[in-house]
Amino acid sequence: MSGDKNHSVPSHWVPTSSRQAQSLAWTVVLNMADPFEVRMRFTSQLQHLNASVSSAQKAAQYALRFRDMDEDLHSCILEQLERNNMNIRANIMYFIEHFLDMAQRDGHPEYIRMMQRDIIRVVDAVAPDDGSGAANVKVVRKVLQGLQGKGYLESQAVSQIEDVIKERETNVEDLGLASPNGDVEMTDMPPSQTIPKAGRRSTSHQLDKRQIEQRIEEDRERHKRERESIWAVPKAENAEMDRLWEETSDFGEDDDRLLTEELDDFHKEMEIQSNCQHHHGAANGTRH
């Protein structure tokens, strides 16, 4: 009996609820996780990112689950940005904004600080200055604006980066990608009409047909989701009225002048109708 007592589990180790049991189980899993395997799994998730929100959420949740390895997982993001084709780099760039949002909500700002530290390296990887990433300049610009709007990046830093990347934005048709992200008109065209025809000037950075079609489809999916989010109304009392109120501009002098003119026109129209009715009544009286 004494031996059993010495090897018994301490009372403070015994979970008092299912939630504590789950937390304890995750702690054991994290402590037993092989760092190399964690890196490999996260790398695979980054390589398979696409335009869907679920793929970004899955990768972000994985990185937050293994937050004790945040420096290693952050380095995975940088490595994949520098090693993969331009489509994967664009998908990872979009993922970064989603990832930082989840890190902020989950209370792990270390990922945000590391991204702030290495944002120049990220931009150079997604839109290199050798012309190969010209089609990704709009992607970089859009994500940077989102990060700035959410307070992850300072406006001065974004402005300085913008001065650099605008010089890297060349004619995307020369690079074999006629539908860069943000080109709404091109996203409604079938892939067969946006693939460069034979005889066009090509460069060493030209994407192959499969990559072009994949990029066009992902751009189309993102634009579709953006249009849906524009018209989405939160499920709250008077939410639609509040949104219309916020979108309505302030009342100014032009509005006051316009109302005065419309009121004058209304009075004139009423006078004309009144005169017409008066003459009509007089004419009827004459007939009698």
pLDDT tens digits for range 150-190: 999 999 999 999 999 988 886 454 444 544 444 433 344 44
Among 54-58, 70-74, 231-235, the range scoring the smallest mean pLDDT is 231-235
Say what the pLDDT of residue 173 is: 47
Nearest to 165 by CA among 149, 193, 150, 145: 145
The tokens for 198 are 């034979």
Q: Residue 35's closest CA among 61, 60, 59, 71?
A: 71
What CA–CA distance (Å, rounded) separates 225 from 56? 14
Q: CA 285, CA 19: separation in Å to the nearest integer? A: 92
Most confident range (mean pLDDT) of 25-29, 70-74, 126-130 is 70-74
Q: What does residue 41 show for φ and ψ, rounded to 5 degrees?
A: -65, -40
Q: Which of 5-9, 136-140, 258-262 has the lowest mean pLDDT?
A: 5-9
pLDDT over 70 (residue 249): no
- Share above pLDDT 70 across residues of the chain, in percent, rounded to a whole number: 61
Position 273, amino acid = Q
Mean pLDDT, range 54-59, rounded to an integer? 94
Query: What mean pLDDT is predicted for residues 253-274?
Result: 77
pLDDT score for 183: 43
Name the phi and psi angles at 48, rounded to 5. -105, 15
Q: Comparing 209 with 248, which gets the higher pLDDT?
A: 209
The Cα 135–Cα 93 span in angstroms is: 13
pLDDT at 174: 47
Q: Please state the rounded mean pLDDT for residues 2-14.
A: 48
Mean pLDDT in residue range 32-53: 91
CA distance 262 to 256: 10
Buried b (16+ CB within 10 A) or exposed e, 29-41: eeeeeeeeebbeb
* Predicted confidence (pLDDT) at residue 117 exceeds the cutoff of 50: yes
CB atoms inside a 10 Å sphere around CB 140: 25
Nearest Cα neighbor of 258 from 245, 249, 247 is 249
Question: In the chain, where does DSSP find H-type helix?
Answer: 2-6, 18-32, 35-47, 53-65, 70-83, 86-105, 110-117, 119-126, 137-149, 155-165, 184-187, 191-194, 209-231, 239-247, 253-287
Query: Would the pLDDT of 287 be above 90?
Result: no
Most confident range, picked from 12-16, 199-203, 217-221, 227-231:
217-221
118 has pLDDT over 70: yes
177-215 burial: b if 16+ Cβ within 10 Å, else e: bbbbbebeebbeeeeeebbbeeeeeeeebbbeeebbbbb
